[in-house]
Amino acid sequence: MPLEYTAFPTPLPDAAVRLCLIFFEKVHQELAEKVERASREIASVLPDTYDMHLTKRSHYHITIFMTSQPHALRPDPFDPSHYDLDMSTVQDVSCMRPHESVLEREIQTMKDIVAQHKSPVFRVHRIVLADSGTLLLCLVEISPHSSVFHMRKAFRKAFPGSPPKQSTIYHASLGRIVTPEQLSEEKRRKIHDMCEAWTRQLQGHEFTVDELFHVREVQFTTVEGPRDESDKIRQVILEHAPFLKESDDGKKIVCLLNNHEISYRLDAINAFVSGKKYRRLRSRKEAEEWTEKYRPFLVPSVNYPNMLFCSLTNHVIKKNRQSVDEHLKGKKFQRAQENFQNDRLELYEEPTIEEMEAAIEEMEQENSMEDFEFINDKDIDGHEQMNQHKRHRDQKKESDVSVKRTRKYT
């Protein structure tokens, strides 16, 4: 049964057990779900008096290499003298805790080795109940370059002080019978037949592995424990480049859109990039960069920092990709662009707010003076003045409407 290493009769120190592995569910979730159903169905065949601990689907894993094991602790796998270390001679197990610098070097070494090999490919071989009572999913590597085989050789060379006994087959433990009594021949045959039936369903399934994990196991047989997330964090940074980068000291993530610093944690960076503020800033920046090819038609507004000015339509639009797309597809823009290309239209220059206010004030003054001069014409009597004034107003309105229509269809 799963047991915390700190609850062992001789408690193990933090990070005492470390391994490099593949999490099965992360590379092929659908297959992992089928395997989970298989393990539950096989466990249901056991007598009621038998107890079987089933592994959580999220814990299905293929061990690649262990730098330290519960029965073979290695505080420094780089030290060759630790290869034959006899744990029975160690009186104080607490001294077997690895130094943080060793852990950092260990993780980096694994990354360097993995980076030198192509992604491994596996194929399901069979499900079998071992004599030890462990239910196993057995696999074979079908990578053209035998990636995992060569990775293990490289790990052994890089970690000369690691435990001598390492896994040589590819398997995932699905469960373990914890009842000590032996099963009857009839029950063993029934379980065997069930395993064979599920083998026929799963055999031949293939999957490619894109990522490996370094885990500091804290619970026996469960691979529960802290996982190195730096590769995933770097993947997020790559996905959001060039807007995110690591800080110079490597302890923070910096958003180049607003110089905001984020904790170097996967949950923190995911929360930041999914937030409204980041999405809004990124949308504006992308629109700004994307509209460079539409200059001089779309330029930054001189009055509104978060807007764009269209020199073809004399409009301001929001600085985001969706608004720009809609504007460029609009009939008004396309018609204006055609007129410009045929020398029937000149580009507008966006006036400043002060210039617009001055122009409006000037227009109002001109209109006021026209009305004043016309109404005080001495050659027209009072009644005629009013009629002329009304006609003048009506003609002016019609003229304004005509101008607007002309502009609309130009």
Sequence-distant (≥ 6) Cβ neighbours of residue 83 within 8 angstroms = 160, 161, 162, 164
Q: pLDDT tens string for the chain (410 positions)? A: 566 777 677 788 888 889 999 998 888 899 999 999 999 999 998 888 888 889 999 899 999 999 998 888 889 999 988 766 666 666 677 777 888 899 999 999 999 999 899 999 999 999 999 888 899 999 999 988 889 999 999 999 999 999 988 988 899 999 988 887 888 888 889 999 999 999 999 999 999 998 899 988 877 655 555 556 666 777 788 888 888 988 887 778 999 999 999 988 888 888 899 999 998 888 878 777 776 777 888 888 888 888 889 999 998 988 887 888 899 899 999 999 999 988 888 898 888 888 878 877 777 776 665 544 444 444 444 444 445 545 555 555 454 444 443 333 33
In this prediction, residue 61 carries a pLDDT of 92
Per cent of the chain over pLDDT 70 is 82
Instruction: Select from 121, 172, 127, 126 the least CA-distant residue to 149.
Output: 121
Question: Residue 375's Cα: distance from chain center in Å?
Answer: 73
46 touches 143 (CB < 8 A): no
Per-residue model confidence as pLDDT tens digits over 202-237:
999 999 998 899 988 877 655 555 556 666 777 788
DSSP characters for 13-68?
PTT-EEEEEEEHHHH-HHHHHHHHHHHHHHHTTS-TT--EEEPPGGG-EEEEEEEE
Calculate the dihedral angle through the C-alpha atoms of 225, 229, 232, 238, rounding to the nearest 10 degrees: 170
State the DSSP code for 293. G
* Average pLDDT along the chain: 82
In this prediction, residue 229 carries a pLDDT of 65
In this prediction, residue 392 carries a pLDDT of 52
In this prediction, residue 34 carries a pLDDT of 95
Rounded Cα distance, 336 and 330, in Å:
10
Alpha helix (H) ranges present in 229-275?
Answer: 230-239, 266-273
Tokens 């009644």 belong to residue: 383
Rounded Cα distance, 346 and 297, in Å:
11
In this prediction, residue 377 carries a pLDDT of 43
Rounded Cα distance, 154 and 174, in Å:
28
* pTM assigned to the model: 0.55
In this prediction, residue 155 carries a pLDDT of 95
Helix, strand, or coil here: 335? helix
